[in-house]
Each structure stands twice: as structure tokens, then as C-alpha cells.
Copies of this chain bind each other. A is one copy, B any other.
Amino acid sequence: MRICIINPNTTSAMTDLMAEVARSAAGPDTDIVAVTSSMGPASIESHYDEAMSVPGLLAAIVADRESEHPSDAYLIACFGDPGLDAAREIAGAPVLGIAQAAMHLAALSGGGFSVVTTLGRTIGRAEELTHRYGVAGLCRGLHACEIPVLELESNPDTEVILTDACARALTGDGSESVVLGCGGMADLAARISDKIGAPVIDGVAAGVRLLQALVPVGGFPGPASGEFSRPPAKEYTGLLSGFALR
């Protein structure tokens, strides 16, 4: 099985970090292809960044589909799950976002969960996703550590700050598990879990494993006339003329 992970921001160091986590989660029988978006924002910390990350994300999926060895599934590696519905229409294969994956895995782990994310201004989107994915009743709190995405790796205190935030969320919210709200935190999940004594769920590993579960189901992309069937071909113009589907 081949799973394609797309980092919808343009920072390849973050792609590398997530690819390593993904390969470790995937095990030896699954190939991980990790792609960095070729256009758009260096990190995603606003609705604007998120919207502008979608063309690069979709271009990466189209390129993979048209390659010699298209992947069997796709993972959108940003906690806002940008472009998820559109990606489903063109992938012809299962697609997940890492927020979706992490939140569902938290729900499956039992009881309520907390989310610990980067900047406070992204909490609104995360909360909206809890409603979209049906887990709002299980989400007992959303918290920001106020470390910008691109500082997660360079800040020497990241692990301490995040561990503390997770521990406080677990106790304060009365949660059974914690979801990490950024792909750039993926490498820290296991260590934080050990320290706080509860499941800590990172969406990259969660997404890889849930896609391993989804691919064998088969039958994708589903009904030919459905909401997620391939869009009709159509003229595209201007800067985005190259995005027209054939």
C-alpha cells in the first residue's frame, strides 16, 4: 500500500518531520510518499493561509494521480484539514485530514478528549471541525500554547510547554485523552503520553493508520453521481488556468 502525505505548507523541514512519524506509524509494508506543497504559505495560521494552501495541495494530489504509481490513499497534513472535500472529488481513493483522523481516533479511544494547538486564533476552526466530525460532545476543551507553527521545532521549550499544557488540559477538562493540534507536533506524542499517563494522539500517525484501515474497504470513490464523484471538466483561466480538470 502506498499512502501519500501532503504537507500543504511549503516548509520542507516540517514535511520531513511528518514523513518520519508517518513511516514509523505505517510499518514496513506501507510506502509513504511525502510531498511538500509547491506554492503558497510557509505555515498555516489563519483562515487566509488555509484557503491559500488548497491549490498547492490539490496540485500535489493531481500530480500523484497522474504519476506512474498513484497512491492508494491521501493524508492532508494540516490540522485545519484544508481542501478535504475537493481532494475527495479528485483522488478517487480515500482521503483524510489529520484533524479528522486525530479526532476520530480520540473518540475511538473512549471518553472525552482535549485539543492542544498552536495559536489561539486557530481554535475557532478546530472547534468547527469537532462539529463537522460529530465529536463536539466529546471535545471537553480546546487550548493554545501560543507557539507559532514554525517555532515548534526551534523553540527549546516546546516539549516542556506542550507537556504541561496537555497535563493541565487532561485534569482541568476531565478528559481521557489529548489531541495535538498541529502536524509539527507529531514527533512528541509518544513522549508526552508517557509523561501524562494517557493517550496523546497525533493526527499524522493517526491518519496513516486510519488510511491503512480504509483502503481495504474498497469501493471508492463511491456512487458515480454522488457528491464526491469526479467534477465535470471545465475552463479555468488566469493564474490558475493550469488547474482545469480534464
Contacts and interface: CB of A to CB of B under 8 A. Distances in A.
Interface of A: 10, 25, 27, 29, 37-43, 45-52, 54-56, 58, 83, 85-86, 88-90, 94-96, 100-101, 104-105, 107-111, 120-121, 123-125, 128, 131-138, 148, 170-171, 174, 176-177, 189-190, 193-194, 196-201, 205-206, 209-210, 212-214, 216-220, 222-229, 231-232, 234-241, 243-245
B58 A55 contact: no
Nearest to A135: B134
Nearest to A132: B128
Contacts of A104: 104, 107-108
Nearest to A235: B42
Contact of A108 (B56, B210, B237, B245): B210
Contacts of A170: 223
Contact of A234 (B49, B83, B108, B241): B49
Oligomer: number of copies: 6
A36 to B, nearest CB: 10
Given A46-B231, A52-B55, A96-B108, 15 more contacts: A10-B235, A39-B238, A40-B243, A56-B238, A88-B110, A107-B133, A108-B210, A121-B225, A121-B229, A128-B132, A176-B228, A177-B219, A190-B218, A199-B222, A213-B213
A23 to B, nearest CB: 13
Nearest 5 Cβ contacts at the A-B interface: A39-B238, A134-B134, A46-B231, A209-B213, A199-B219
A6 to B, nearest CB: 14
Contact of A219 (B83, B123, B197): B197
A235 B88 CA distance: 28
Given A10-B238, A58-B48, A89-B46, A197 B224 contact: yes
